[in-house]
Amino acid sequence: MNRYLYTTPPIVKNLIIINILVYLATVLIPKFNVLMGTYGQLFWVGNPNFHSYQLITYMFLHAGFAHLFFNMFALWMFGRTLEYQLGSKRFLTYYMVCGIGAALLQMLVAWLSGETYFTLVGASGAVMGVLLAFGVINPNDTLIMFPIPIPIKAKWFVVLYALLELYLGCSGREPGVAHFAHIGGMLWGFGLLYYWKKRRKIFF
């Protein structure tokens, strides 16, 4: 029996719980929603509302139920296996590095394009890092691409997803979505995995 399929390890479980609780608080408590909108989401570094801690708090805020649901579902789907493989402490480090790295790349792209009025919320960058790690460590595991029921190996799923994010980010077809944050999460995750591999902290 594969424990990855039947149990949720502590970091993944607690991340999901925290995200859900924060979302419910923003929906049910107007003052908390205003507080998070002012101080919790990530602002451009030159904005007077910017604070360094927003590089972390933005990961726990979501723009709506669908945004929250798909991020937490992907974290649950891929994070369980990954936490068991990396260990809880290393998984949490990986998750946070990907989330912060995602924000940094999005800010860099915004600065280069002159769009420094942006704000950023959501766990998508960190979750994309989790997806990347799953594909790197478990390259031949078979996934099903929703909504098209076509089985595909994890490594090719990750490559196709990364290319799609790059295309959407460069084309500007979805201006409300931080595609470069998604790419940033994957890039920082890839770099951290290979740093650990070189230091012989993980093997794949």
Q: Which residues are catalytic, by number?
A: 124, 182
List 143's β-bridge partners, or say none. Answer: 152
Tokens of 187: 């890039």
- What values do phi and psi take at 153, rounded to 5? -70, 145
Instruction: Decide if 139 contacts 154 (C-beta within 8 A).
Output: yes
3-state secondary structure of 36: helix
The rounded distance, in Å, linking the Cα atoms of 57 and 39 is 9
